[in-house]
């Protein structure tokens, strides 16, 4: 249970980090390390060089504007969880972060690192998708924005090149007259979810359902956003049939079986969690919509 | 292209860290995790290594005041930081002895350990959690669950550990 030998670099600027990455195709970026270090300990990964970005200045800020929340690469889950201004603009951030592992892991693990790790059982990959978010990627060639649809390729795999550093993630603000909810089922609180769901419900000015979107955890190979609007479109918020939306969701997902749960059980949980979270999100959307 | 400082790409490093209030120094391979450096290089064997991949919580220590898994932090990463291990929870008294932390007292009082392997991780996590919260408020069951939920104990079934958390919270409230 010891990592294989590696070279270690702790650059003091982004430029220096990019130089070290460019010099070694086998280099890997280390931020919070709460996913990477277990992989090293179990020797599922053995990068030649670790580029520890923890001492790079300027990556630890949460910036909140009316448009959304920009989360720097070194922002810990715990920091985002207690960021009230971020939660007001996009409530899914705190709701999902509260489900990320245990407090001791959240104190060290980073939200952006979790996204770059691209684990389909990660909460924040799903939230990036559900909110229509993006990441800012820096390479030797410059800086670019990569939308969530172009980021996730497969389990633990992104479209980014080895020489890239993700410097922040941007989560757009919750639209008007909308509510959110997030819930997951795990064997033990804080463990990887057997299944999780994040939802956004949007109403029109007459408090009728105009849009319903959902994204699931530990379901599928990459984060996906499912549009469930047709099951409840135009229904008054107080009488919409959320079970119908749950039933629709079950037909849209394609979960896998593993030692923790069968595909059928996961599909069942998708229905249950969808119905449950939509009822909560709808209540919140109604509160945010003037009668 | 900026030059890369060769001293920052070594395979071995000298780490300077304050552990339980005492400045310490050790030269370690860069792949050594903090848990192993505390035990093998600094002789502080109170920190226990259970699973070595972040699941069990036995190796939890405080880095700059926050509980973290010391098996998921490299020793080189705490250069310049302050680390508190289970050995640092007790306080010196005026006669040259030591006074246990209220959480340690509560574990003894409530019989919250059997084999003791997981205990250092629980003690450090709970002590930091209780010190960070508003002590005058009655502790809720949800708070208690959150404080013990990240640590595995295979002996006790958690009932007495949770009793100890409530006991320690009450002691710390009364001591205000």
CA distance A22 to A193: 36
A10–chain B Cβ distance below 8 A for any pair: yes
What the block records as the tokens of A266 is 């996961």
What's the CATH number of domain A7-55, 3.30.1490.100, 3.40.190.170, 3.30.43.10, 3.40.710.10? 3.30.43.10
What's the CATH number of domain B8-88, 3.90.1150.170, 2.60.120.650, 3.20.140.10, 3.10.20.30? 3.10.20.30
Reduced to 3 states, what is the DSSP secondary structure of residue A102?
coil
pLDDT band at A240 (very low <50, low <70, confident <90, very high): very high
| Backbone phi and psi for residue A96, each to the nearest 5 degrees, phi listed first | -75, -40
Residue of A nearest to B3 (CA): A16
What's the CATH number of domain B91-174, 3.30.830.10, 1.20.1090.10, 1.10.150.120, 3.40.50.970? 1.10.150.120
The predicted model scores a pTM of: 0.95
Q: Rounded mean pLDDT of B10-22?
A: 94
- A contacts of B8 (beta carbons < 8 Å): 9-12
| Backbone phi and psi for residue A257, each to the nearest 5 degrees, phi listed first | -90, 145
Q: Which of A3, A8, A40 is opposite residue B10, by nearest beta carbon? A: A8
> How crowded is residue B92: how many other Cβ atoms within 10 Å of its Cβ?
9
Nearest chain A Cα distance for residue B147, angstroms: 8
Tens digit of pLDDT for each residue in A63-109?
999 999 999 999 999 999 999 999 999 999 999 999 999 999 999 99
> CB–CB of A37 and B73 under 8 A?
yes
- Residue A145's nearest CA partner among A128, A161, A167 is A167
Query: What residues contact A133, with CB distance under 8 A and at least 6 apart?
Result: A68, A127, A147, A148, A169, A170, A171, A172
As a dihedral over the C-alpha atoms of residue A147, residue A225, residue A162, residue A9, rounded to 10 degrees, the angle is 100
SS (H, E, C) A8-21: EECCCCHHHHHHHH
Tens digit of pLDDT for each residue in A125-168?
999 999 999 999 999 899 999 999 999 999 999 999 889 999 99
- A contacts of B77 (beta carbons < 8 Å): 10, 33, 52, 54
CATH 3.30.390.50 domain residues, chain A: 178-287
pLDDT at A290 over 50: yes
Quick one: pLDDT at residue A69?
Answer: 98
Half-sphere exposure of B83 (CA within 13 A, CB side): 32
Q: Which residues face B19 on adjacent strands?
A: B22, B83
Tens digit of pLDDT for each residue in B62-116?
999 999 999 999 999 999 999 999 999 999 888 888 899 999 999 999 999 999 9
| Backbone phi and psi for residue A252, each to the nearest 5 degrees, phi listed first | -95, -20
Task: Give, as one character, the DSSP assignment of residue A189.
Answer: T
Q: Is residue A183 within a helix (H) or strand (E), and if so which, with residue range?
A: strand A178-186
């Amino acid at each position: 249970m010891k990592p294989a030998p590696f070279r270690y670099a702790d650059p003091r600027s982004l430029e220096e980090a990019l130089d070290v990455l460019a010099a070694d195709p086998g280099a890997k970026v280390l931020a919070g390390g709460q996913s990477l270090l277990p992989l090293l300990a179990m020797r599922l990964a053995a990068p030649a060089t670790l580029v520890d970005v923890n001492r790079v200045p300027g990556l630890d800020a949460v910036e909140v504007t009316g448009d959304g929340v920009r989360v720097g690469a070194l922002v810990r889950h715990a920091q985002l969880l207690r960021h009230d201004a971020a939660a007001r603009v996009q409530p899914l951030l705190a709701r999902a972060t509260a489900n990320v592992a245990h407090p001791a892991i959240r104190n060290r693990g980073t939200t952006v690192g979790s996204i770059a790790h691209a684990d389909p059982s990660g909460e924040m990959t799903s939230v990036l998708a559900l909110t229509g978010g993006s990441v800012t990627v820096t390479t030797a060639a410059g800086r670019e924005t990569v939308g969530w649809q172009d980021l996730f390729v497969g389990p633990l795999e992104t479209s980014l090149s080895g020489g890239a550093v993700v410097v922040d993630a941007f989560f757009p603000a919750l639209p008007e007259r909308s509510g959110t909810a997030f819930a997951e089922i795990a064997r033990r609180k804080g463990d990887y979810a057997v299944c999780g769901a994040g939802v956004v419900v949007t109403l029109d000015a007459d408090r009728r359902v105009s849009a319903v979107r959902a994204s699931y955890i530990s379901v599928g190979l990459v984060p996906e956003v499912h549009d469930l609007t047709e099951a409840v479109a135009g229904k008054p918020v107080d009488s919409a049939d959320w079970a119908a939306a749950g039933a629709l969701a079950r037909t849209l997902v394609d979960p896998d079986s593993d030692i923790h749960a069968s595909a059928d059980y996961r599909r069942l949980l998708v229905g249950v969690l969808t119905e449950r979270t939509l009822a909560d999100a709808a209540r919140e959307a109604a509160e945010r919509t003037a009668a | 292209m900026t030059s890369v400082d060769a001293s920052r790409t070594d395979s071995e490093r000298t780490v300077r860290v304050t552990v339980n209030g005492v400045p310490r120094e050790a030269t370690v391979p860069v792949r050594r995790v903090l848990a192993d450096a505390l035990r093998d290089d600094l002789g502080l064997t109170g920190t226990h290594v259970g699973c070595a991949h972040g699941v069990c919580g036995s190796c939890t220590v405080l880095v700059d005041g926050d509980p973290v898994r010391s098996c998921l932090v490299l020793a080189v990463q705490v250069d310049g930081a302050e680390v508190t291990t289970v050995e640092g929870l007790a306080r010196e008294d005026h006669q040259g002895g030591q006074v246990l932390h209220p959480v340690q007292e509560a574990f003894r009082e409530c019989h919250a350990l059997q084999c003791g392997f997981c205990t250092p991780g629980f003690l450090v996590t709970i002590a930091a959690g209780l010190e960070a919260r508003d002590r005058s408020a009655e502790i809720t069951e949800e708070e208690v669950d959150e404080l013990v939920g990240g640590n595995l104990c295979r002996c006790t079934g958690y009932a007495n550990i949770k009793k100890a958390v409530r006991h320690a919270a009450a002691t710390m409230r009364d001591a205000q």
